A = this chain, B = another copy of it.
Amino acid sequence: MFSFSEENYLKAIFHLERKYQAGVSTNALAEEMETKASSVTDMIKKLSEKELVIYKKYQGVKLSELGNKTAIKVIRKHRLWEYFLVEKLDFNWDEVHDIAEQLEHIKSEKLTQELDKFLGFPKRDPHGDPIPDAQGNFSVANKMLLAELDKAEKGICVGVKDSSSEFLRFLDKNNISLGKEIKVLEKEAFDGSMLILIEERELRISQLISNNLYIKTQ
């Protein structure tokens, strides 16, 4: 149906649309895709001809209904495979993204559905991101950033905003993982760092960390 490259562009536009509802600029897309703006223009034209995106010259780009549906299918496969790798093949959560980048392009509706069934229809991937169901619906969670919590508040760690392996390994090293309760003991106004309590251990974390951890409060 669509090429790997086309699917990757659609996925990138989908993610950037959360940030720029008015339309995704050529440069933003070029940065996300780690390519040149001229290449992006070329690809956008092709996607536009295939009616996957709405595009007017110099006005940025948006996904069409079809483009949106297609992007969600790719994201669904990406996250199902990540879940598979962690839950069935014992991969660590920092090792799965690059392999899922390949697996997300495998074309077979039946494979996706059977994999979903085999995994027990998981709702979230190893990084806490929602896995769209077969109809493309995401389950939304009312999560917030740890950095937004006030002193003495607590919540359950439910996801990461940055899912780079560097950040994930930092969390592993400090025994922070999804499902654990975190309580804010102190907040330092000067540098935004905070002292947290996690599993009876006290830990000081910088604002960079608390800004990339999602928390669900009861």
Which chain A residues have a beta carbon within 8 Å of chain B's beta carbons? 85, 88-91, 95, 98-99, 102-103, 106-108, 110-111, 114-115, 117-118
Q: How far is the CA of A89 from the CA of B115 in the complex (A)?
A: 7
Instruction: Give chain B nearest CB distance to A38 CB in angstroms.
Output: 24
Q: List 15 A-B contacts (CB under 8 A).
A: A85-B111, A88-B118, A89-B111, A89-B114, A89-B117, A91-B110, A91-B114, A98-B108, A99-B106, A99-B108, A99-B111, A102-B106, A102-B107, A102-B108, A103-B106
In the complex, A99→B98 CA distance in Å?
Answer: 20
Q: What is the copy number of this chain in the assembly?
A: 2
User: Which 10 A-B pairs rank lowest in CB-CB distance, beginning with the nearest?
Assistant: A89-B114, A102-B106, A99-B108, A89-B118, A99-B111, A88-B118, A103-B106, A89-B115, A90-B114, A102-B107
Residues of the B chain whose Cβ atoms lie less than 8 Å from the Cβ of A102: 106-108
- Identify which of B95, B108, B110, B111 contacts A110 (C-beta below 8 A): B95
Say how far A134's CB is from chain B's closest CB, in angstroms: 15
Complex interface: chain B residues within 8 A of A88 (CB):
118
A85-B114, A103-B103 known; 4 new pairs, CB 8 Å cut-off, are A88-B118, A89-B117, A95-B110, A102-B108
A118 contact set on B, CB distance < 8 A = 88-89
Nearest B residue (CB) for A4: B4
